[in-house]
A and B are shown apart, each in its own frame.
Chain A
């Protein structure tokens, strides 16, 4: 119970600090504060997906259904963080480049991640047999993950040739330097988000275990 309270206070502190302690960013002004939420959310979305892929591989090798359940939980959590990352990214994009959406390399990749999550759930919902569902969605999760590295290298090329002027702004964002206060709040936010992810994962897992126990007991 204690660490949940700590997490609650920690993130509240991060929220407050991101508005009061941290100064407004250069170039982006007040809008830039959103980086404290956007980047950690995106990292957790990717981390959750990575975990889902690892779970999927475990399932394919050992065929224990608990790995499939873990994969699903990670996918659900990842989707939530991914939506958060996409929305905050769009807000950032509006502030930095004037449009909510502009096919910036990172924006495209987070959108593709969201599409992968969506496709994963569509696939799962189409199969009623739990073993087949576990097997096929595991294969899909691994396949989809393999395409992610390509995007990291491709999208920048396509993008630059289309919108050379925005390229400058993107480069500026990449060499974005954080003064010490922002860095502190940012790192604290990364910790907070990670803690939140672990807590939500833990809750989901316990819920699934109880649910599963109840389902098996009903058979008697």
Chain B
């Protein structure tokens, strides 16, 4: 069935290649993990014991996404740089159209971020002594939010790689574009932690869902302009 969608099957091939390389070097994942753990420890050390109640859930919600956002910036910005550096760009261009390349890279980033959140989110909850009221909503928020981070970051990583990959370029470009995602995710997380009404979280989740859709569609359409000269 997958062979009916050539973009997907070729994309999976790209994904497999990247996963294999990453498994060997663990370069991107360690960048992600290192940043996330460092900020998590710092945050929980300074804030962990001091706040309680509704203020805590508000701040905790924001902190979670700050950690995830900057981890994504640290870990995902080099998605395409490695290709430029090792000269495999031409090989990729000959092997496939732009779209499968994008799909593969996107899925790779999704896998990376999911692996990160699976580790960081439970740690976060434990270290800050949080209780999750709307568990399903919380999980959905983290899932959609992480996917959205990956979705926007992938094409931006491609732009940044072509532009010379100078230090903070990724963050500068990503912040305005990811802001709606971050605000929606923070709002939903706040509701999930503090136990607000399910309707409130559902509107946020719907928005996150659409954000993912728009990000993916737009990236697929625009990627060829970044990839090809």
Contacts and interface: CB of A to CB of B under 8 A. Distances in A.
Main DSSP-derived SS at the B contact region = helix
Contact of A150 (B172, B211, B219): B211
B175 interface: yes
Contacts, number: 92
B135 interface: no
Contact of B173 (A131, A140, A150): A140
Interface residues of B, number: 37
A50 to B, nearest CB: 16
B159 A139 contact: yes
A151 to B, nearest CB: 5
Given A136-B226, A142-B222, A153 B207 contact: yes
A3 to B, nearest CB: 36
B47 to A, nearest CB: 19
A112 B186 CA distance: 17
Interface stretch (A67-75, A93-101, A118-126, A203-211): A118-126
A123 B229 CA distance: 17
B226 A158 contact: no
B203 A158 contact: no
Interface string A134-158: 0110111011101100110111011
A122 B183 contact: no
A92 B223 CA distance: 41
Interface string A11-54: 00000000000000000000000000000000000000000000
B226 A135 contact: yes
A143 B218 contact: yes
Interface residues of A, number: 31
A152 to B, nearest CB: 9
B163 A154 contact: no
A143 B159 CA distance: 11
A115 B175 CA distance: 8
B50 interface: no
B99 interface: no
A139 B207 contact: no
A84 interface: no
Contact of B179 (A126, A151, A157): A151
B176 A147 contact: yes
Nearest to B203: A157
A158 B176 contact: no
A153 B206 CA distance: 12
16 contacts: A60-B225, A115-B176, A122-B169, A122-B172, A123-B163, A123-B169, A123-B172, A126-B166, A127-B162, A132-B163, A139-B225, A139-B226, A142-B218, A143-B152, A146-B214, A157-B200
Interface of B: 58, 152, 155-156, 159, 162-164, 166, 169, 172-173, 175-177, 179-181, 183-184, 186-187, 190, 196, 200, 203-204, 207, 210-211, 214, 218-219, 222, 225-226, 229
CB-CB nearest 7 A-B residue pairs: A150-B180, A115-B176, A116-B176, A158-B187, A126-B163, A139-B222, A158-B183
